[in-house]
Structure 1
Amino acid sequence: MSPRRVVVLGYGMAGSRLADEIRRRDPAGERVALTVLGAESHPAYNRVLLSAVVAGTMRAETVRLHDEDWAERHHVDLRTSITATRIDRGLRRVELSDGSTVDYDALVIATGASPWLPPVEGLEQGDDVVAFRSLDDCARILEAAKLGAPVAVLGGGLLGLEAARGLAGRGNLVTVVHPASHVMERQLDAGAAGVLVKSLTKLGVTFRLGVGAARYLPGDGLKLDDGSHIPADLVVVCTGVRAETALAEEAGLSVDRGILVDDALRTSDGRIHALGDCVRHPGTISGLVQPAWEQAAVLADLLTGTDSAARYRGTAPVTRLKARDIDLAAIGDHEADGEVLSFADPERGRYAKLVVRDDRVAGAILLGLPDSAAMITQLHDRGIPVPEDRLSVLFGRALPAGAAPASSPADLPASALICRCNSVTKGRLVEAWRAGATDVPALAEATRATTGCGSCRDTVCAVADWLVAQ
């Protein structure tokens, strides 16, 4: 029997992860003949870590998810610098930008999302205006951001703040312009946002909140809608993204602010699936890596026949700000009903809010409290009852079974979740170590720990150090 022809449109984080998951289940390609199409010329890379490239703490090559010969080793027909131009559902064929075609038995759309530029007069992508989304955008930003040059960052969301911190650390004069009354309004309450702004201000970032850009004057700067002006040799745009759905719409698939999918990641055509930032699923929050990881695992089970009952039920959100000298985690729904405990120490950059409902963590915001973040994340992920001493939990001092601080690897049980993005436990790291993965890069290769949002790297290093000492 011939292997099933699976074609993946997109070689970003979702598409590349799906390819990895398929080959984990079908290493030799006996069940699935896999073709992956990527618009960019680069091997797949971790988009979540691009702010670290801008900051100079990581090199472009270190954020790659695959090396140059990955496709050959894993029996994947990988085609880069190429896009799909049309899906012929009747013939089950995809037309490509180079004039060729590829036939499929199952098609997966993983086209991601495109940056959105606000309708500001004079604001057009160019050498001095960069919508921050790709590895090439990093290179353009670093080329334009000369030492000491004034930079305006449009958008005070997660990516905008990461970019601003990175550029300020490089010596640029950075101003964040954000139309809402506080930054990261989707993830933080006003109290946490205020503490975060105070911390970033100490690190060299200036903020203009509650105002928007009205006009961009190249060589001069930004005029804001309150009539004021800020200098800017470079504008970095981080104002959100829009799901890339044009191909799906043209093919007649159901689309509503994203490609509509069910729990099997099926579109309105049963032979076509979709995952990642291009989809709309009731349990998905766009812009986070973990939903795409979980969707990829489910879809790989289905496409390889490993588990025909696999379903994606949604992802509980955990958001981390990846900015040097800032430790921030936003977990679940911080506006949920329930018991609420909070603490603020703006001068020291610390803020904590914990919402407990039915003795479980419903939501939390932890800033400048890494032990608290590690403990509460484990309580949330594993559904562990919150200890009665809520205040000790808030400050990371309670030690319920399975929820010890990540800073003490010896105290963690084998079931403790170390890498949330990839569901890697301490026990899995120990197994990989004993199998020969005896340093952090090898552990990452064997388990994928650290290859998601990157926030677990310090904990993985601590576990590795502990294993060396055994």
Structure 2
Amino acid sequence: MTSNTRVVVIGAGLAGVRLARRLGELGTPVTLVGDEEHRPYNRVLLAEVLAGRYAPEVIALPAPAGIVRARVTGIDRAARTVGCADGTRIAYDTLVLATGSNPVLPPLRGLFTPDHVLPEGVHAFRTMDDCLGLSKAVRPGVRAVVVGGGLLGVSAARALAVRGAKVVLAQQAERLMERQLDPAASKLVLRHLKDLGVEVHTECRVRDVRCVGGAVRSVELADGYVLDADLVVVACGVRPRVGLALDAGLAVHTGVLVDDELRTSDPHIHAIGDCVQHEGTVYGLAAPALEQAEALAGLLAGDGDSRYTGTRSLTRLTLAGSGSSSEAFDLAAFGETEARPGDDVVQLADATRGTYRKVVVRDDRLVGGVLVGELGTVGALARAWEGAEPLPSDGGPLLHLLTNDGGS
């Protein structure tokens, strides 16, 4: 790529910022366009801002200078320009979509006002503005209902409880974080939340958000049970933000379809991060987004061998302590945490200390694992999993990986 090639990146999240920084280091100038007023920040740490552990500036990303603050409204592929809400147009030779994802807002009765905005007291939990709005509203004794018991819902419920709120978490599935954790690990997460005073309802569906005078007052469950609420946090997951790609006529399934060069159906447009679907997979996690940014930086800087072939990603959640009433809680999960018939499973549990370690072995290879508390072994286990090398048949090294806290 020549030095005067115009690279425009839409989206100033983790993926977009990493790409812009890496290209800058490699001598390729970039125009980075972001639609949030705040400095780019690490979205993964928003729950710690809500919990009061970090100030917003602590999670700011070291972003390149000269970010264009604008909302992109359209892409003209023929003219190779992007149009912004303020009427300006930005020309590109290579365009990169790093538009991220939007929160899933389920079709609950009363969730939106007639103007299709969230009522007072109802919040998504995806952006810094969401986080700051919740931080302003939460106070000791406030009644908060968190809808959703996945990674985001658990993080939000814990943060609100640490701030003194009376929290109820409503999870439609049969256990917390069912996509990442096995039943035993989910029980430990449940115990941690209950120790913080969080009331957890599983296998329950929220049916109705009730408001009075434009402000939320309660949440009704499908069985008719009513939860009083001053705050409602909707944490039902995210979906790729693909509106610009669709409007531009790019190939989109669940996410924007890309190949191993992270190229869309238009050879002049690439995509990375949460908005992307690669080989049938939409990751929605930080590690794949950063790997995609690194791979694309190499490609755009002239490394013809740079490719993205997928990520074997590890989910990690750290709920830091905040005084004697809230001890730190760590968990990690990777690969397949549920065994198939014929798999070998090794488990180590200590109910007193609240720790749990489990790995699943198939055909002498480590295919997944979950750890709760004392994650000293997670590094070694993850390397064994990522390498996909056969394990020695005597099983000794596997037990060493499970018990050796020097492996991280």
TM-score of the pair, normalised by structure 2: 0.90
Question: Aligned partners of 1:390, 1:115: CA distance in 2, in Å?
Answer: 42
Alignment of 1:10-409 (within 5 A): 10-26=11-27, 32-66=28-62, 70-71=64-65, 77-80=66-69, 82-124=70-112, 125-218=118-211, 219-282=216-279, 284-305=281-302, 307-324=303-320, 325-335=328-338, 337=340, 338-383=343-388, 386=391, 388-389=395-396, 392-393=399-400, 395-397=402-404, 404-406=406-408
1:371, distance to aligned residue in structure 2 (A): 2.0
1:53–1:60 CA contact under 8 A, matched in 2: yes
- Determine helix, strand or coil for the equivalent of 1:188: coil
Deviates more, 1:101-110 or 1:279-288: 279-288
2:276–2:282 CA contact under 8 A, matched in 1: no
1:373, distance to aligned residue in structure 2 (A): 2.4
CA shift in 2, pair 1:189/1:112, >3 Å: same
Give CA deviations for 1:17-53 in whole Å, capped at 9, x if unaligned. Answer: 1101111222xxxxx3311110001121000000100
Give the corresponding residue for 1:409.
Answer: none
1:11–1:36 CA contact under 8 A, matched in 2: yes
Give the corresponding residue for 2:325.
Answer: none
1:390, distance to aligned residue in structure 2 (A): 5.9
1:321–1:328 CA contact under 8 A, matched in 2: yes
1:199, distance to aligned residue in structure 2 (A): 2.2
Give CA deviations for 1:342-377 in whole Å, capped at 9, x if unaligned. Answer: 234445322221012344321000012322323312
Deviates more, 1:328-337 or 1:387-396: 387-396
Give CA deviations for 1:38-69 in whole Å, capped at 9, x if unaligned. Answer: 000112100000010011111100000026xx
- Determine helix, strand or coil for the equivalent of 2:404: coil
Question: Aligned partners of 1:365, 1:329: CA distance in 2, in Å?
Answer: 6
Question: Aligned partners of 1:390, 1:204: CA distance in 2, in Å?
Answer: 40
Give CA deviations for 1:383-429 in whole Å, capped at 9, x if unaligned. Answer: 5654622673464238xxxxx333xxxxxxxxxxxxxxxxxxxxxxx
Question: Aligned partners of 1:23, 1:385: CA distance in 2, in Å?
Answer: 40
1:83, distance to aligned residue in structure 2 (A): 1.6
Deviates more, 1:238-247 or 1:280-289: 280-289
Could you list the runs of 5+ residues in structure 1 that have no partner in the other structure?
27-31, 72-76, 399-403, 407-470
CA shift in 2, pair 1:190/1:342, >3 Å: same
- Determine helix, strand or coil for the equivalent of 1:220: strand
Give the corresponding residue for 1:3.
Answer: 4
CA shift in 2, pair 1:2/1:188, >3 Å: closer
1:150, distance to aligned residue in structure 2 (A): 1.2
1:123, distance to aligned residue in structure 2 (A): 1.5
CA shift in 2, pair 1:2/1:182, >3 Å: closer
Give CA deviations for 1:52-104 in whole Å, capped at 9, x if unaligned. Answer: 0011111100000026xx41xxxxx4201x12111111111111111011111
Deviates more, 1:238-247 or 1:377-386: 377-386
Give CA deviations for 1:228-249 in whole Å, capped at 9, x if unaligned. Answer: 1222110011101121111111
1:43–1:66 CA contact under 8 A, matched in 2: no
Question: Aligned partners of 1:273, 1:43: CA distance in 2, in Å?
Answer: 24
Could you list the runs of 5+ residues in structure 2 that have no partner in the other structure?
113-117, 321-327
Question: Aligned partners of 1:202, 1:33: CA distance in 2, in Å?
Answer: 51
Give the corresponding residue for 1:435.
Answer: none
RMSD: 1.9
| Seq. identity, % | 44
Question: Aligned partners of 1:168, 1:391: CA distance in 2, in Å?
Answer: 38
- Determine helix, strand or coil for the equivalent of 2:167: strand
Which residue identity lines up with residue 34 of structure 1 in the other structure?
V
1:176–1:208 CA contact under 8 A, matched in 2: yes
Give the corresponding residue for 1:432.
Answer: none
Question: Aligned partners of 2:221, 2:400: CA distance in 1, in Å?
Answer: 43
Give CA deviations for 1:198-245 in whole Å, capped at 9, x if unaligned. Answer: 222112221010001111123531110111122211001110112111
- Determine helix, strand or coil for the equivalent of 1:193: helix
The runs of at least 4 aligned residues of structure 1 exceeding 6 Å deviation read none
How many pairs does the alignment contain? 387
1:113–1:241 CA contact under 8 A, matched in 2: yes
